[in-house]
Amino acid sequence: MPPAGQSIVVEIEAAIAGGSTAKCIETARRVTDLFLLSAGHFDDEQIELFDNVLERLVKTIELRAIADISARMALAEMSTQLAPIAQAPPSAVRQLARNDEISIAAPVLQESARLGDDDLVDIARTKSEQHLLAVAGRWWLKEVVTDALIFRRFASVSRRLVGNPGARISAAGFAVIVAQAENDPELAVEAGIRADLPAVLRQRLLTSATEAVRTKLLEHAPPHLFEEIRNAIAKAVASADREMSRVRDFATARQFVTKLKEKGGLNETVLAGFARQRKYEETVVALAELAHSTIEVVRPLMQSLRHDGLLVACRAARLNWNTAAAVLECRYSSGSLGAAELARAKTEYAGITAENARRLMTFWQVRSGAPSRPN
């Protein structure tokens, strides 16, 4: 301790040993002020002396902060003062950073250079969402830290990271974020305009994105990414169109499903199996049979990018929601609709009655010109 601090050594020991909360706080403030006066001029040995004292004071005040708001306020003030100081006492900073009270931990988590990657990773793995949000806002973060933050799977943390240009994100981290973005339009837009998002993941994000998200991505795309995003959107749309409209041969599927029906083996479980295995032709034929309709009616519903018509066919066949969802996803050779889109479809499905569905299917049957099927 420098000469100016020698006079309070006894006071510090007394405060730690048995002083009041107010005395501990006053002593901590005096030591902090003394350090801040000449923070840029201390050598390592002097910093270590301050560190030992402040760490002990912080631990003592923390024990009393549980029931004393003034103690919590004092620690938050110390955290704010030490956060921007490059030579801040490292052990004291780490003690503050691990405090469960976010008002105490946040200042050093957001800014202190005394926290290394190991400290940040440990905090990312063990502390609260608010602690992770504070770390995610730091001006520079390595992939090892962002991985630890992302793998806790807080959407709010992922949003802050993708909006932080100083946060480096690994391919594995981006993969988690893209999966989260299926149910989070804001995150989808923020992630989609990151220049370091791998192209294959950008394509995956755009393939599952809604039209509204794709539009916003183009609106917010920086100039150097605009063409890449526009081309990726065009590719995603074209891929979906090709998969839905390509030439299909239903003859074999019709024969197979007809034999199943004749043997009494055609039911919802069989249809669900076809759909989950992405057996498109068999799914169309089986759905037409169970809905008492025809391939000519059901096939256009499967080819459409809209869900409403296909949901009507599923309800007419009296399918449960899980089977109906499998039928929706069977339209694509791979991938998923995304949680948000499936949730909207589930709500819509719940509002369709079997009676109305059968009535619509009969109307579409007549309009198609195909012979009616007996119920």
Task: Tell me the pLDDT tens digit for each residue of 189-210.
Answer: 999 999 999 988 988 888 777 7
Residue labelled with tokens 């309070």: 8
C-alpha closest to that of 271 among 258, 284, 262: 284
Instruction: Report d(CA 354, CA 358) in Å as an integer.
Output: 6
Predicted local distance difference test score (pLDDT) of residue 367: 78
| Percentage, residues of the chain above pLDDT 90 | 54
Instruction: Report d(CA 31, CA 57) in Å as an integer.
Output: 10
Residue 217's CB is within 10 A of a number of other CB atoms, namely 25
Task: Examine the pLDDT at 332 and tell me if it is beyond 90.
Answer: no
Cβ atoms 188, 181 nearer than 8 A: yes
Strand, helix or coil for residue 266:
coil
Q: For 221-280, how does the pLDDT look when each residue is reduced to its tens digit (9 = 90+)?
A: 888 888 888 888 777 766 554 544 455 678 888 999 999 999 999 999 999 999 999 888
For 117-131, 145-159, 243-257, which range has the lowest pLDDT when averaged over its residues?
243-257
pTM metric for this prediction: 0.63
Residue labelled with tokens 């183009």: 218
Domain ranges (residues) in the chain: 1-113, 251-368
**Of 212 and 43, which is predicted with more confidence?**
43
Identity (one letter) of the amino acid at 26?
Answer: E
Predicted local distance difference test score (pLDDT) of residue 41: 86
The token duo for 287 is: 């759905």
